Amino acid sequence: MPRRLDQLAINTATLGFQWPLERIVEACARLGIGGVAPWRRELTEVPAARAARLVRDAGLTVTSLCRGGYLVHRDAAERAARLDDNRRAIDEAAALGAPVLCIVVGGLPAGTRDLAAARAQVVAMLALLREHAAGTGVRLAVEPLHPMYAADRSCISTLASALDVCDAVGPELGVMLDAYHLWWDPELACGLARAGAERLLGWQISDWLVPTRDLLNDRGMIGDGVIDLAGLDRLVTASGHTGLVEVEIFSTDWAGRDPALTLRTCAQRYLALG
């Protein structure tokens, strides 16, 4: 079955936040791209309810809101602040009509070295947030990040670990699969089967460049790297997932180019995946 652009969504970080959300939505609609995944920073420029209308009126869907998380903490004050911020993020997702809030859990609390303790904090914090999520209908998608971010962004580095968190907390949770973070994992097929359509809440693509010059902002355009994205897409489909795929490319290169060019390239490369 040939790929269709209405199965593609653009995570707005891919365009380097050069355009306001309204312009991104218009450009996506013109190309036939089916969805958009905004960031919270964009909702400071256009209120979530108005953003929801923009997207709906253009015939697009919101796949997810980026992002909540950073749940690890050093003390009670930081803990309370993180809980507040995540409750606000859940409310924003609900107002935006996003079915999913993407959660990047955070790495080691500053000055610590205990990954197991950090992971326990993540479970405890999500257990406190699940009721608020349930009240809004927004699902929380725990996103395992690449192990190179274990210290400073996510102490959850594998799909299996993220699913362990879901098991421990409850059905309001699920997982976000990002090819860039997990393509190397020999247990990925196993994790996808375990997740199933019920818990696989989103699926993001970009590519791993060789060489990679920067740990944060050197992701590749679809097809420019070594990830077998077509193969992963088959695994995701086999797991029962029917949602859109988000392109999320953090790249100094692409963030500096004309967003119209980046959008067209994403669309072409997605169709060419085969």
Interaction site with its own copies (CB under 8 A): 108, 112-115, 119, 146-148, 150-152, 155, 157-158, 160-161, 183-186, 208, 210-212, 215, 225-228, 231
What are the DSSP calls for 228-269, one per residue?
Answer: -HHHHHHHHHHTT--SPEEE---BHHHHTS-HHHHHHHHHHH
Q: How far is the CB of 162 from its own copies (least distance, A)?
A: 10
Sheet holding 200-205, edge to edge: 61-62, 35-37, 8-11, 245-247, 200-205, 173-178, 139-142, 100-104, 65-69
Please say which residue, 29 or 160, places its beta carbon nearer to its own copies: 160
Q: How far is the CB of 175 from its own copies (least distance, A)?
A: 15
Please say which residue, 58 or 160, places its beta carbon nearer to its own copies: 160
Please say which residue, 230 or 261, places its beta carbon nearer to its own copies: 230
Please say which residue, 93 or 227, places its beta carbon nearer to its own copies: 227
Under a CB-based contact definition with an 8 Å cutoff, are residues 225 and 207 in contact? yes
Please say which residue, 30 or 252, places its beta carbon nearer to its own copies: 252
Q: How far is the CB of 190 from its own copies (least distance, A)?
A: 11
Q: How far is the CB of 255 from its own copies (least distance, A)?
A: 19
Q: How far is the CB of 208 from its own copies (least distance, A)?
A: 6
What are the DSSP calls for 162-226, one per residue?
Answer: HHHHHHHH-TTEEEEEEHHHHTT-TTHHHHHHHHHHHHEEEEEE-B--SS---SSSBPBPTTSSS
Please say which residue, 131 or 228, places its beta carbon nearer to its own copies: 228
Amino acid (one-letter) located at 193: A
Q: How far is the CB of 110 from its own copies (least distance, A)?
A: 9
CA nearest 266: which of 214, 210, 217, 204? 204
Q: Is 39 helix (H, G, I), strand (E, B) or coil?
A: strand
Q: In a 10 Å sphere around its CB, with 0-12 CB exposed, 13-18 middle and 19+ buried, how is residue 38 labelled?
A: buried
